[in-house]
DNA sequence: AGGGCAGTTGACGTTAACGTAACCCCGAAC
DNA sequence: GTTCGGGGTTACGTTAACGTCAACTGCCCT
């Protein structure tokens, strides 16, 4: 409980590959709650855990606001079943969203591929007089 | 060359499922060039063709600016080979981008699925005393 | 005293694609 | 005469996630 391994903003940036601005921004958005030593921020183990989840969430396409809500659930509920279930559902919804998005993207890809073949024919038809 | 079949803004909106604001916006961005009858806009066949391509492009994830450039190529070059090739390349690049995006999305989906299974276990472990 | 660096706050800028008033004009209908 | 419908223009608002200053403060070094 003592060696919290507090980290400065620079160390955090280096460790997670983000800018200072980002960390301050996350604090303003109440995603992180670094301690203060005078003016300076000192990030705790908890902050690191949260940041890790935040960055992971971003990869999943969660917005910062969504992540804040999820993190709050983790915090407030001392891991109560109801809250875990809620989190689980949110994640499942997001997953469904992502799958829909992927499917749409695939459709668009196929359609674009079709167009490209068409375009290729057109170009080819300009090379030769189009008469076989 | 005479029956241009001019359409009012309302008709265009109905035909393409967009708002007037959108059409005016596209004109401001030089994507459309409706004629004027006094104040009123009258959309030509050419505008309809362009709008159709624009909306198709949007589904592919092209930005309006990208579409503007592509449309300008179509216009200026009277279908010259060089310009078709250019268009083709832009489209191919975009396609590659989309495929990368899809792959990333798929990775994220798989990862999230993994997390969900983990979450499901956790929840289950709260139901029963976790001792088999 | 002066430099230099690390950190802070505050506030405005950015990008995309429109939405949303607010206010004006014009012709037809009641 | 007036209200309604359908235009039009100008211009500010929106959303997300930071970027980019500017102006300080505090501390170590020499």
The answer to whether residues A54 and A83 belong to one domain is no
Residue pLDDT, tens place only, A18-41: 999 999 999 999 999 999 998 999
d(CA B107, CA B113): 10
Distance between CA atoms of residues B16 and B12, nearest Å: 6
Angle between helices A81-127 and B81-127 (to 10 degrees): 160
| Inter-chain residue contact A116 with B91, CB threshold 8 Å | yes
Cα radius of gyration (chain B): 24
CATH number, domain of A27, equals: 1.10.1660.10
Q: Is A127 in contact with B99 (Cβ distance < 8 A)?
A: no
One domain for residues A4 and A46: yes
For B103-127, the pLDDT digits (tens) are 888 888 887 778 777 766 665 665 5
- The residues, ordered by sequence, that sit 6+ positions from A61 with a Cβ below 8 Å of its Cβ are A94, A97, A98, A101, B108
CA distances, A121 to each of A108, A132, B82, B85 (Å)? 20, 13, 14, 11
> Would residue A55 count as lying in a domain?
yes
Q: Which domain holds residue A122?
A: 77-132
Q: Which nucleotides of C are covered by protein (CB under 7 A)?
A: 6-9, 16-20
| Tens of pLDDT, residues B49-61 | 999 999 988 888 8
Higher pLDDT among residues A122 and A22, named by residue: A22
pLDDT score recorded for residue B2: 45
Q: Which residue of B has its CA nearest to A89?
A: B116
Are the C-beta atoms of residues A50 and A31 closer than 8 Å to each other?
yes
* Helix/strand/coil for B130: coil
- Mean pLDDT for the stretch of residues B88-115: 80
- Quick check: is B68 in a domain? no
The pLDDT tens digits for B60-77 are: 888 999 899 888 877 765
Q: Is the ipTM of this complex over 0.95?
A: no
Tell me whether residue B65 is in a domain. no
Specify if A72 maps to a domain.
no
Q: Are both A47 and A87 inside the same structural domain?
A: no
Asked whether residue A82 falls in the same domain as residue A132, the answer is yes
- The number of distinct structural domains making up chain A is 2
Average of per-residue pLDDT values in chain B? 82
Contact A113 B95 (CB under 8 A): yes
Comparing CA positions, the residue from A114, A115, A117, A128 lying closest to residue B81 is: A128
Q: What is the pLDDT of residue A76?
A: 66
Chain D positions with any atom < 7 A from a protein CB? 6-10, 16-20, 26-27
Chain A residue closest in CA terms to B53: A115
Averaged over A12-20, what is the pLDDT? 96
Residue B17, in any domain of the structure: yes
């Amino acid at each position: 409980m003592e060696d919290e391994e507090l980290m400065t903003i620079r160390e955090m940036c280096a460790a997670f590959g983000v800018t200072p601005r980002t960390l301050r921004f996350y604090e303003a958005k109440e995603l992180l709650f670094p301690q203060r030593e005078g003016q300076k921020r000192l990030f705790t183990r908890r902050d690191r855990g949260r940041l890790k989840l935040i960055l992971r969430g971003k990869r999943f396409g969660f917005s910062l606001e969504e992540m804040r809500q999820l993190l709050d659930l983790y915090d407030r509920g001392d891991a109560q079943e109801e809250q875990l279930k809620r989190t689980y559902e949110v994640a499942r919804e997001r997953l469904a969203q992502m799958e829909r998005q992927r499917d749409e993207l695939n459709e668009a890809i196929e359609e674009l591929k079709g167009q490209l073949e068409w375009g290729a024919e057109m170009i080819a038809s300009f090379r030769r007089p189009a008469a076989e």
